[in-house]
Amino acid sequence: MNNQNMTDIIEAYLKDVLHKKEQIEIRRSEIAKLFDCVPSQINYVINTRFTIQNGYIVESKRGGGGYIRIMKVQVLDEMDRLDSMIEIIGKSISERDSRSVVQNLYENDIISKREAKLMLVAMDQSLYTGDKFTDNRLRANLLKNMLANLRYEMPKKRKAD
């Protein structure tokens, strides 16, 4: 199996286990052994697929009895989710993390597919100044303004694709 497929398989496995439980504790070496891959592959999956922007909190304890705990974030309502995301974004956000925020909003029925596409186009294709630091700050400001606007206009159901 190639690495890209392995990453997707490991992510799907962990999400399946998380679907059954509120949180999971794993040992990196045990999961690596289960999937016959290197432990760094597990780190990659956790660091890229189980971020706060994707709705997860990850805790880890190093050492012999170490573990990685993954928990799905429980947000009370859409307003709380938007406020949390605005806070998480801060002053700067990468293109990858901004895509994760938009995908999370779509998957949780806060925005429609069309709104997600518009948000992604605005953040991806129009923010290239030649300076990554400036791009990430502009992207953060744009995304936070979009999220703040959603807070004031919350229809009951947004899945009108």
Matching fold, domains 3-72 and 78-151: no
Is pLDDT at 142 greater than 90 in this prediction? yes
Query: Which residue has better confidence, 61 or 98?
Result: 98
Average pLDDT rounded to a whole number, residues 99-128: 86
User: In which order are the strands placed within the sheet that holds 23-26?
Assistant: 23-26, 67-72, 56-61
pLDDT at residue 14, as a whole number: 93
pLDDT at residue 160, as a whole number: 45
When pLDDT is cut at 50, 70 and 90, the band that residue 1 belongs to is very low
Indicate yes or no: pTM above 0.85. no
pLDDT at residue 73, as a whole number: 72
- Tell me which of 3.30.56.130, 3.30.420.40, 3.40.50.300, 3.40.1550.10 is the CATH number of domain 3-72: 3.30.56.130
pLDDT at residue 77, as a whole number: 65
pLDDT at residue 104, as a whole number: 85
Q: Across the chain, what does the average pLDDT equal?
A: 82
Residues 101, 54: contact at Cβ < 8 Å? no
Q: In sequence order, which ranges of 21-131 are alpha helices (DSSP H)?
A: 28-34, 39-49, 78-89, 95-107, 113-124
Average pLDDT rounded to a whole number, residues 106-119: 89
Quick check: helix, strand or coil at residue 68?
strand
pLDDT at residue 58, as a whole number: 87
Q: Parse the chain into domains and list their residue ranges.
A: 3-72, 78-151
Q: What CATH architecture does domain 78-151 belong to? A: Orthogonal Bundle (1.10)
Q: What is the pLDDT of residues 51-72, one digit of tens each?
A: 876 778 888 877 666 788 898 8
